[in-house]
Amino acid sequence: MRKIDAFWRLLTFFNPYWKRVVTCVLLIGAAEGLRFYFIWLTQDLLRPLIKSGIRAGEGDLFISAVQKGLNWLFTDVPHRLTFLAAVCIVGVVVAVLRAALSFAHTFLANNIAQKVVLDLRRRLYSHLQLMSPSFFEHERTGQLLARVVNDVAALQSLVTIGIEDLVSAPVLIVGSLVMMIVISPQLTVIALVLLPLVGWIMWRLGRRLRKASYEIQVALGNLTALLRESFSAIKLVQAFSAEEQALSQFDRRNRQVYQHALRAIRLRTMLSPSVELIGTLGAILGLFIGGVFVIQGWLHPESLLTFMICFYTLASSTRKLTQIQAVKEQVSGAAERIFQVLDVQPEITDAPDAIELPTVKGEIVFENVRFRYPNGDEILRGVSFKIRPGEKVAIVGPSGVGKTTIVMLLMRFYDPTDGRILLDGHDLRKIRLRSLRQHIGLVLQDTFVIDGTVRENITLGNPDATEEEIVEAAKLAKAHDFIERLPNGYETWVGEGGAFLSVGQRQRIALARALLKKPTILVLDEVTSHLDAESEVAVQQAVEQAMQGRTVIVIAHRLSTVRNADRILVLQDGKIVEEGRHEELVSADTYYRRLYELQQ
């Protein structure tokens, strides 16, 4: 993706609000139109004053004109006061109308910008949820957090400068130019002789500012990643007295953010004064030559005054446009990082002809399945087995042989490198992901508990469950009793990562969560590996009860937990080397028997 595309792609997020945008543009046009009308109104007031002054005396033009004009104003007091009052009343009405229009378009523009930020953050989060686990294995979580939070927040600069500036500045520039050309084309060309230099400065500094802004967002992402890692491992840091080392790493990355931000500030602050200096030089040049035009009689004095007002409006709008350009480059840097994520396509998606499975019997078949993680060795090397509906099968073996990989493939977090997996005779790649996963209850070794209440954790996959269903799932998971003893029962807040619960309690809540889905297939991945003896007994009892009437796959390292399985599959070097019941495998000279004896 070319860098120049990021900002314009960002503007496409305004499309759903095009009616509001058009309304905002019309309001801005009306407000700025009143500004130019007021300028013309001022010229109409000055014209008789200055013309009267010229007729009364030809010397001291600027002083004499004012003096003689005031004499003219107060000669016929009633008529002149009526004229002056009428002009002032019109001016007040114009000012009030313009203030009302300015409020309306400013509020509307900011509302649109906030809507776009809201939509973009939701779009980014929704897209990340579709990514397969392999994406998160290669992307640092802290960097992803930075893109959802920091990079999208950077886009709110559009709100800071005001979306209306993006419209009003060009309107004012065009309007001022038109009026200047109408007054004096020659003087307009002379006054704008330095305009190409402004364009060159904006282009040159803008490119450098975009690069600096991109580097700021990268540095912020690295800082966010470090913070997340250090807070997650705070016990480890303190246990090894590594606080100074952690602080040193933080200081280094924090200073990188400071240095990149300082460079961006330097470039941004150079842009506006440079344009302002050039505009001032142009104004002085225009004023000098305009004065010559007036002296020579080629231009009326009131027209020169109006011309200079328009030029000032043009210069201030151009200065505002440079600020917009600076923000645009900063926004482009953040937008580029956001679109880098949005442009990554999920590896695991529904096939065009994927089907829904309204009911599942629970027959699982692996046919010569091979799998290799990206940039890694082959984990599974032709695994084949069949699990009948309602059968309870354990998969055992030493660490790293691919037990959990089988679960990941069944859940279709990954697709096999070769071979296929069938559910009730259907290739998993031909089943819609949502349909497949709603029939499988999964309890992992590393239990995930959200920062919420017990109820919110249990209903994570079934938010519409009734109270009776929640309690039934908790009872089946042997969790209801301890939940009732918590301070607020099912409404008890569990803390981040379940900090206020024991490991065994978190496991039983995770099991209740899986059972609330009422799955046909239940997958248990090392659910008792981190538990003490007492908690293991409680969880094991819950597991035994939860297995009834379901197809069950148990991934286990502790062989004592799989004695009651209908069948045990022994995995070694990425292949199924043995299978049978516990008694059969122990009574023969098997690899399983050696593993069992070692554990005993």
* Residue 342, pLDDT above cutoff 60: yes
* Residue 159, pLDDT above cutoff 60: no
Contact (Cβ atoms closer than 8 angstroms) between residue 145 and residue 190: no
Domain annotation covers residue 351 = no
- Span 398-451, pLDDT tens digits: 888 888 899 989 999 889 999 999 999 999 999 998 889 889 888 887 777 777
Domain annotation covers residue 348 = no
CA distances from 234 to 53, 226, 227, 238, 244 (A): 82, 12, 10, 6, 13
Q: Which domain holds residue 139?
A: 5-342
* Residue 459, pLDDT above cutoff 80: yes
Same domain, 337 and 384: no
Same domain, 477 and 591: yes
Residue closest to 97 by CA, chosen among 44, 38, 169: 38
Token pair 């500004």 in the structure block, residue: 35
**pLDDT-above-90 percentage for the chain:** 8
H-state helical runs in 419-490? 433-438, 454-458, 467-476, 480-485
Domain annotation covers residue 355 = no
- In DSSP notation, 385-437 reads EEE-TT-EEEEE-STTSSHHHHHHHHTTSS--SEEEEEETTEEGGGB-HHHHH
Out of 41-45, 147-151, 248-252, 427-431, give the one with best mean pLDDT. 427-431
* Phi-psi group of 589: left, alpha or beta (phi > 0 → left; psi -120 to 50 → alpha; rest → beta): beta
Instruction: Tally the domains of the chain.
Output: 2
Considering the chain, what is the average pLDDT of its residues? 77
- Span 468-520, pLDDT tens digits: 988 988 888 888 888 999 888 999 988 777 778 887 888 888 888 888 888 88
* Residue 193, pLDDT above cutoff 60: yes
**Residue 311: pLDDT band with limits 50, 70, 90:** confident
pTM, rounded to two decimals: 0.69
Look at residue 61 in the predicted model and tell me its pLDDT.
Answer: 44
Packing angle, helices 77-130 and 301-342, rounded to 10: 10
Same domain, 329 and 437: no
- Span 556-591, pLDDT tens digits: 877 777 888 889 999 988 899 988 898 888 888 888
* Residue 538, pLDDT above cutoff 70: no
Same domain, 18 and 137: yes
Look at residue 557 in the predicted model and tell me its pLDDT.
Answer: 76
User: What's 136's domain CATH number?
Assistant: 1.20.1560.10
Contact (Cβ atoms closer than 8 angstroms) between residue 569 and residue 396: yes
What is the distance between the alpha carbons of residues 134 and 281, in angstroms, rounded to a whole number?
59
Domain annotation covers residue 471 = yes
* Residue 68, pLDDT above cutoff 60: no
Same domain, 273 and 414: no
Same domain, 122 and 186: yes
Same domain, 547 and 456: yes
Out of 70-74, 254-258, 274-278, 325-329, give the one with best mean pLDDT. 254-258
- Span 233-292, pLDDT tens digits: 665 566 656 677 777 777 888 888 788 778 777 776 676 666 666 666 666 766 677 777
What is the distance between the alpha carbons of residues 130 and 347, in angstroms, rounded to a whole number?
9
Same domain, 318 and 416: no
* Residue 76, pLDDT above cutoff 70: no
Q: Which of 39-53, 130-144, 499-513, 536-550 is the least confident region?
A: 39-53
CA distances from 380 to 202, 405, 423, 440 (A): 58, 8, 19, 22
